[in-house]
Amino acid sequence: MPGDEEGNRGRSEGDADDLRLMRLVGRGDTTAFEELIQKHQALVAGTVARMLGSNSDVEDIAQQVFIRVWKSARRYVPRAKFTTWLLKITRNLVFNEMRRTKRRAHVLLQPEAGAEDPPLKDDLNLAPDVSLLETELQQTIEEAILQLPETQRMALVLRRYEQLSYEQIGEVLDLSVPAVKSVLFRARSELRSRLNKYLT
């Protein structure tokens, strides 16, 4: 349809494909819905896990995101990229979960001391103390991110792990580009202060 082609001009091929799938999902096409899930489940589940910690109900919340997509498909109007809209749904559910179970937001699963050797220690030929330090640093980074306020955390996750532009992050979080830059600056400053002993 020429009208559809016109509407998709300037959009990426991936986004045009998302719109095609959403039109089909809006008509109740379950195959198109499954294809949409396959295409974007890594983005949704990855964002949820980084926002809530890997010991949270990542699958359950990711599933809720796609249930909302299914329920909203008939009314869906593409005002922004599909992934931006998808991440807004993810944001809402994640923020709700964070507020509902605040005490879990900064709890990490800590492996018991000596429970397992650092992975790939021999392959990488690292001294045990170097390998241990890397594991500790990674855990400290994750813990520091989990302790950031929700908006800072979301902005950092979208920028650092999903490589979203300031404009896209602003759309997801309903912020202006200068506000996004300010939020990211505060988040990075907070992380730097928490990770200071590793940076000196």
> Are the beta carbons of 80 and 14 closer than 8 angstroms?
no
In this structure, what token pair is assigned to residue 191? 């992380």
Give 2-42 pLDDT, tens digit per residue.
444 444 444 578 889 999 999 999 999 999 999 999 999 99
- 113-200 maps to which CATH number? 1.10.10.10
Looking at the chain, which residues constitute the CATH 1.10.1740.10 domain(s)? 1-105
**DSSP symbol at 154:** H
Q: What's the pTM value of the predicted model, to 2 decimals?
A: 0.75
| Residues whose CB falls within 8 Å of the CB of residue 3, separated by 6 or more in sequence, listed in order | none
3-class DSSP assignment, residue 3: helix
- pLDDT tens-digit readout, 103-156: 544 444 444 443 343 343 344 444 556 666 677 777 888 888 888 999 999 999
CATH top-level class of 1-105: mainly alpha
pLDDT in tens, 167-185: 999 999 999 999 999 999 9
Q: How would you class 200 by CB atoms within 10 Å of its CB: exposed for 0-12, middle for 13-18, buried for 19 or more?
A: exposed
26, 76 contact by CB (below 8 A) = yes
199 pLDDT above the threshold of 80: no
Tell whether the model's pLDDT for residue 194 goes beyond 70. Answer: yes
Cα Rg of the chain (Å, integer): 20
CATH 1.10.10.10 domain position(s) in the chain: 113-200
Residue 59's H or E segment, with its range, is helix 58-72
